[in-house]
Structure 1
Amino acid sequence: MFRFIQAALVDFTDLLFPTLCLGCRCSLTANEKILCADCRIRLPETGQHREPYDQNLLNKFAGKVPIQFVASYLFFSRHNLVQKLIHQIKYKGQKEAAKEIARWYGHQLKTESQLANQIDVLIGVPLHKSRFQQRGYNQADSIAEGLSEALNVPMATDILARTRFRDSQTRKNRLDRWENVKTAFAVLRPEAVEGKNVMIVDDVLTTGATLEACSIELLRAGCKSVSVITLAATHR
């Protein structure tokens, strides 16, 4: 009887306050999460994890820092569905969406590639404590958490820190982005990454400046290799 009443209450709540697709804002069915089936099918997947040494993404770091491999789930462009999702994740408190979408990608990585076997620890790009207090969460950590669950690879939030507050990277070019972040990170526990294969996790790979700055500090701390994984990446 209790289960029947509980199920009825859930159905009634869903009727009054339906969960909406983050893409088209239609009501989700009981079997859908975050996106409706139509929007999920329309996600512009890169398929790039099957070719993690693809130069299109590695070239963002060429001649700057040695990156083992790069993998991104989706193509990001202005006004597309992915931009809408990233905006919701980054600025609208949708950290559960970040975890769920990361799980989708993690399952692909586990079944369609060998990348998980080359990772010892996942580290999300950290926020400065002021930015963290403003948002209440770090979207990169949420993404790393979803990947960690799907890949069965540990994540850490106490190794890399953002030590300097910098303004937004959104409207900056590559050089300005680098100047903005080149001294913004520090490794708090070098012993935790010494000799390890580290995967840095972020929401979007654009110029790569932030990820480059993180990678340099991790390599200086003695990690064996650094790789990059993001939910999305720009074409350029």
Structure 2
Amino acid sequence: MNLFSDFLEFVFPKTCICCGTALLVEEKSICLYCRYQLPTTNFHYQNENTAKKVFYGRIPLVNITSLFVFHKKNMTQQLLHQLKYKGKEEISSVLGDWLGEELKTLVWTKDIDVVIPVPLHAKKMRKRGYNQVAGFGVNLAKHLDCSYSDKVLIKETPSATQVFKNRSARAEMKHDLFKLQNEALIANKHILLVDDIITTGTTLETCAQIVLQAPNTKLSIATMAITM
């Protein structure tokens, strides 16, 4: 079986999802060169950061971080495009491993109890076949030694993509887009809410306000990227 797998990799080598070059055995989805080129934020190592400023006065947070900076036409955009629109679901898990390895070393993550994703509407889930942040959340939970649940938030109403809409346009998003269920899964717990990207923060703010309706909850946020 190993010989057959080796033969397949020789004939059909796995390639980097960023640059397309053949991956070495120890590389997974992203080659080492591209890993060093991707614009990381290191927000989780900072007491104050840009992501925190987005939510000042809007929602109470223990902490917040994003893995990458997102600009139009930069490598982060290419990566998320592959994840969301080209069926490269494995990117989600790779980024969860990347950020999870860093977060598990920090004090503020030690009491996180459950990771929950911003949900997709059922129609979009059927079309795409997966929630692009599911693997990200699952692997974060694995590294943080906590649970993962996609049974807490549901999206009842579909919405158009929010990337690069201005804040006033995004503010039209209403709370009835999302619904809290299985409240007991998060009551009295520190929750890590995960999503793919922060633009104006309206989606995350809406979800956070709903999640915080559960009694005695604390909230942190982690995303794959943030627009800057």
Global fold match (TM > 0.5) = yes
Aligned pairs for 1:55-204 (under 5 A) are 55-111=49-105, 113-204=106-197
Aligned-pair distance for 1:12? Answer: 2.0
8 Å CA contact retained: 2:112, 2:144: no
List, as ranges, runs of 4+ consecutive aligned residues in structure 1 with deviation greater than 6 Å.
none
Query: Residue in 2 aligned with 1:44?
Result: 39
8 Å CA contact retained: 1:122, 1:154: yes
Runs of 5+ consecutive residues of structure 1 not aligned to the other structure = 1-5
Whole-angstrom CA distance in 1 between matches of 2:164 and 2:225: 18
Larger displacement relative to structure 2 (210-219 or 193-202): 193-202
Aligned-pair distance for 1:221? Answer: 2.4
Instruction: Write out per-residue CA displacement over residues 81-131 of structure 1, whole angstroms, 9 at most, x where no aligned residue.
Output: 1111111111222222210221111011112x1232131110000001111
Runs of 5+ consecutive residues of structure 2 not aligned to the other structure = none
Equivalent position to 2:21, from 17, 22, 26: 26
SS state at 2:22 partner: coil
AA aligned opposite 1:35? I
Whole-angstrom CA distance in 1 between matches of 2:174 and 2:204: 9
Whole-angstrom CA distance in 1 between matches of 2:98 and 2:138: 12
Whole-angstrom CA distance in 1 between matches of 2:59 and 2:144: 26
The answer on 1:8 being equivalent to 2:3 is yes
Instruction: Name the TM-score, length of structure 2 as normaliser.
Output: 0.94
Whole-angstrom CA distance in 2 between matches of 1:170 and 1:177: 9
Whole-angstrom CA distance in 1 between matches of 2:41 and 2:53: 16
Aligned-pair distance for 1:223? Answer: 4.4
SS state at 1:35 partner: coil
Whole-angstrom CA distance in 1 between matches of 2:63 and 2:192: 9
Whole-angstrom CA distance in 2 between matches of 1:214 and 1:39: 33
Question: Aligned residues: percent identity?
Answer: 33
Query: Residue in 2 aligned with 1:216?
Result: 209
Whole-angstrom CA distance in 2 between matches of 1:146 and 1:223: 26
Whole-angstrom CA distance in 1 between matches of 2:195 and 2:87: 16
Whole-angstrom CA distance in 2 between matches of 1:175 and 1:58: 20
Task: Name the Cα RMSD after superposition.
Answer: 1.5
Whole-angstrom CA distance in 2 between matches of 1:152 and 1:196: 14
SS state at 1:66 partner: coil
